[in-house]
C-alpha cells in the first residue's frame, strides 16, 4: 500500500521523513537541472544556426520537453534556470545540490537576479544569497522576493525587477477551463480609465434586456463581455419570446469562429435551464436534462453538451465532418475535406507535449512532398515551430517519426528515445474510427532532398534579443535609481 511505510511511525518520525525526502527531492531536481544545462550547452554552443527561427535552443528545448513530459515553454525555462545556476550562481547551485534549498527558492533566485550583468556584482550577490538562503524556505513569495532583492539592491540596484510598477504590468489573463461547468476565470489589470469605461459598458448592456430574462445581473454582465469579444454591441435577451425587441442575436454564436468537435448525440442535447438564474436558489426542483455524447473545443477542453446547445441556439453553425477519399490526392495542398479531417482527427499539434490547436497548425507530410503522397495516413498537424524542427532538425541524427494509418505517430529523438503521440480525437471520441487506408508505397526522398526549403530567420540572435531585453528593463530602472540617490536638500 502507498502509506504502509509510515503507518506505525509516530508524528515526529513522519515529519522527519517529510523533511528528509524534501531534501532528497531538491537534490534530485538540482541534478536534473544540471543535466538540462549540459544538454543546452552542447546543443547551443555554436552560432551556425543562431539566426534560424527554430534555432539550437528550440531544438534542445524540444528534447527536454519530450523527455520531461512538459511544454516547450517550461522546458525553455528549465534550460534558463539550469544555465543560470551553472554559470552565474555556483554557490547557490552547490546548496541546491546538497538539498539545502528547494526548487521554489532557487527558481525565485534565478528570476530575480536575471538582470544582473556585471560579473563582479553577480559573484557578490551569489555569495550573499547563498549565505542566507538556507533560512528562506518558510517565506511567502513576496517576502522571498524582498529577501533576494536586498542583496541585489546592495550590489547592483539597477538590476532590481520593479514588479511594483503596476502600470507596466497591464495584462488580461484567462485561466484554464473548468470542464464540469464550461467556464473559465478571467482577471487582469487595466488603466483606471479603461476599467471605468468597461464597467459602464457592461452594466449598460446588462440592463438592456427585458425583465423576463432569467439571468442575474452578474450573469448578464459576464455574458456582455463575451458579446463584446465577439464584436457585438448589445446582449441578446434569453426570455424566449419571439416578439422581444432585445432578442436579436448578439454575435457570440456567429461572429468569431471557434471549432468544436462533437458527436451526433451531443448535437441533440437540450439546453439546461439551471445554467441561468439566482445561484443561491434551491435547485432541488430543477430538472437537469439528461445529456449524451461528447463535445470539445478544438485544442481546448471538453465542452458541456448543455453549453453546446446554448451556442447552437445562439446561431452557431453546425457542419457535418466529411470522411476524405482513401486514395491519394495529386496535389501538395490537401483538399478542404482532407484538411478538415486531419485537423479534427488530430485536434492539436502532434509533436510530443505540444497542445497548439490544430486550427493554428500546418498540415505536414510525414514523407516530404513530392516523395510522400497527400494522403490521410501520411498527413498530420504540426505547429510552425515543430514543423520547422522536423524539417530542418530531422533526418539522420535528428528527429525521426513513423505514422500509422490510425494517426498514431512514434517519434524518435536525436538520442534514440521514442515517444508516441495519438490523435486527440482518440482520447475524447474513442468510438470514432479514424483508421484510413495505408499510405501508398513511394520512393524514399534523397538525402537532404527537402532542404531546398528556406528556414525563416531572426532579425537578431536569441542571445542578442535577451541582452536587449535586459538592457531595456535596466534602462527603465535607471531613472528610479538616480532619483533615489539624489541627496536631501540642505
DSSP characters over 285-339: T--PPP--S-EEETTS-B--HHHHHHHHHTT----PPPPPPSSPBSSSSPPHHHH
Cα(122)–Cα(128) distance, integer angstroms? 10
Alpha helices in 8-71 (DSSP H): 11-43, 56-68
What's the grid cell of residue 5?
511505510
The structural domains of the chain, with segments of one domain joined by +, span: 4-168, 177-256, 260-277+287-313
Do 398 and 414 meet the contact criterion of CB atoms below 8 Å apart?
A: yes
What's the grid cell of residue 167?
502600470
Do 75 and 61 meet the contact criterion of CB atoms below 8 Å apart?
A: yes
More confident residue, 366 or 257: 366
Local confidence band at 442 (pLDDT 50, 70, 90 cut-offs): low
Do 401 and 409 meet the contact criterion of CB atoms below 8 Å apart?
A: yes
More confident residue, 380 or 295: 380
Position 238 scores a pLDDT of 85
pLDDT score of 303 more than 80: no
Q: Say if residue 430 is preceded by a cis peptide, omega within 30 of 0.
A: no
Residues 288-303 have a mean pLDDT of 64
pLDDT score of 268 more than 70: no
Cα(435)–Cα(405) distance, integer angstroms? 5
pLDDT score of 443 more than 90: no
Q: Which of 205-209, 354-358, 484-488 is the least confident region?
A: 484-488
Concatenate the DSSP letters of all residues of 114-139 into one string: TT---HHHHHHHHHHHHHHGGG-TT-
Cα(314)–Cα(85) distance, integer angstroms? 54
Non-local CB neighbours of 320 within 8 Å, separated by 6+ positions: none
Dihedral of the alpha carbons of 29, 33, 39, 44, in degrees to the nearest 10 = 160
pLDDT score of 126 more than 90: yes
Position 396 scores a pLDDT of 78
Residue 321 Cα to chain centre, angstroms:
28
Q: Which of 34-48, 103-117, 236-250 is the least confident region?
A: 236-250
What is the arrangement of strands in the sheet containing 409-412, beginning at the earlier edge strand?
Answer: 400-403, 409-412, 418-421
Local confidence band at 54 (pLDDT 50, 70, 90 cut-offs): very high
Residues 40-55 have a mean pLDDT of 86
Amino acid at each position: 500500500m502507498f502509506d504502509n511505510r509510515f503507518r506505525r511511525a509516530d508524528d515526529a518520525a513522519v515529519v522527519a521523513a517529510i523533511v528528509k525526502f524534501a531534501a532528497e527531492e531538491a537534490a534530485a531536481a538540482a541534478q536534473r537541472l544540471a543535466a538540462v544545462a549540459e544538454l543546452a550547452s552542447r546543443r547551443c554552443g555554436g552560432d551556425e544556426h543562431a539566426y534560424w527561427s527554430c534555432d539550437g535552443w528550440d531544438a534542445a528545448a524540444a528534447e527536454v520537453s519530450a523527455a520531461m513530459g512538459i511544454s516547450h515553454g517550461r522546458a525553455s525555462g528549465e534550460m534558463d534556470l539550469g544555465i543560470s545556476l551553472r554559470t552565474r550562481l555556483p554557490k547557490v547551485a552547490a546548496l541546491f545540490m546538497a538539498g539545502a534549498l528547494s526548487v521554489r527558492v532557487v527558481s525565485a533566485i534565478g528570476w530575480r537576479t536575471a538582470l544582473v550583468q556585471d560579473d563582479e556584482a553577480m559573484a557578490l550577490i551569489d555569495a550573499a544569497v547563498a549565505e542566507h538562503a538556507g533560512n528562506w524556505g518558510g517565506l511567502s513569495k513576496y517576502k522571498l522576493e524582498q529577501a533576494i532583492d536586498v542583496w541585489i539592491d546592495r550590489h547592483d540596484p539597477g538590476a532590481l525587477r520593479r514588479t511594483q510598477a503596476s502600470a507596466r504590468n497591464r495584462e488580461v489573463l484567462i485561466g484554464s477551463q473548468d470542464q464540469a461547468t464550461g467556464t473559465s476565470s478571467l482577471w487582469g489589470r487595466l488603466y483606471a480609465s479603461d476599467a471605468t469605461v468597461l464597467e459602464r459598458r457592461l452594466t449598460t448592456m446588462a440592463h438592456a434586456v427585458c425583465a423576463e430574462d432569467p439571468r442575474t445581473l452578474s450573469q448578464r454582465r459576464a455574458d456582455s463581455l463575451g458579446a463584446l469579444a465577439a464584436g457585438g454591441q448589445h446582449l441578446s435577451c434569453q426570455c424566449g419570446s419571439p416578439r422581444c425587441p432585445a432578442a436579436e442575436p448578439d454575435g457570440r454564436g456567429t461572429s468569431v469562429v471557434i471549432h468544436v468537435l462533437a458527436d451526433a448525440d451531443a448535437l441533440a442535447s437540450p439546453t439546461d435551464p439551471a445554467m441561468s438564474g439566482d445561484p443561491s436558489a434551491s435547485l432541488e426542483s430543477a430538472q437537469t436534462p439528461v445529456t449524451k455524447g461528447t463535445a470539445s473545443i478544438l485544442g481546448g477542453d471538453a465542452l458541456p453538451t448543455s453549453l453546446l446547445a446554448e451556442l447552437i441556439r445562439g446561431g452557431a453553425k453546425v457542419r457535418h465532418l466529411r470522411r476524405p477519399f482513401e486514395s491519394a490526392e495529386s496535389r501538395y495542398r490537401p483538399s478542404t475535406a482532407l484538411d478538415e479531417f486531419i485537423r479534427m482527427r488530430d485536434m492539436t499539434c502532434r509533436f510530443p507535449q505540444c497542445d497548439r490547436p490544430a486550427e493554428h497548425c500546418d498540415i505536414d507530410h510525414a514523407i516530404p512532398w513530392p516523395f510522400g503522397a497527400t494522403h490521410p495516413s501520411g498527413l498530420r498537424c504540426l505547429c510552425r515551430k515543430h514543423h520547422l524542427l522536423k524539417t530542418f532538425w530531422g533526418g539522420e541524427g535528428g528527429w525521426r517519426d513513423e505514422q500509422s494509418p490510425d494517426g498514431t505517430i512514434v517519434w524518435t529523438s536525436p538520442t534514440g528515445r521514442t515517444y508516441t503521440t495519438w490523435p486527440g480525437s482518440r482520447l475524447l471520441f474513442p468510438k470514432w474510427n479514424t483508421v484510413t487506408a495505408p499510405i501508398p508505397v513511394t520512393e524514399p526522398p534523397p538525402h537532404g532532398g527537402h532542404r531546398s526549403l528556406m528556414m525563416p530567420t531572426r532579425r537578431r540572435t536569441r542571445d542578442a534579443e535577451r541582452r536587449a531585453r535586459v538592457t531595456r528593463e535596466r534602462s527603465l530602472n535607471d531613472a528610479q535609481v538616480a532619483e533615489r540617490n539624489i541627496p536631501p536638500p540642505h
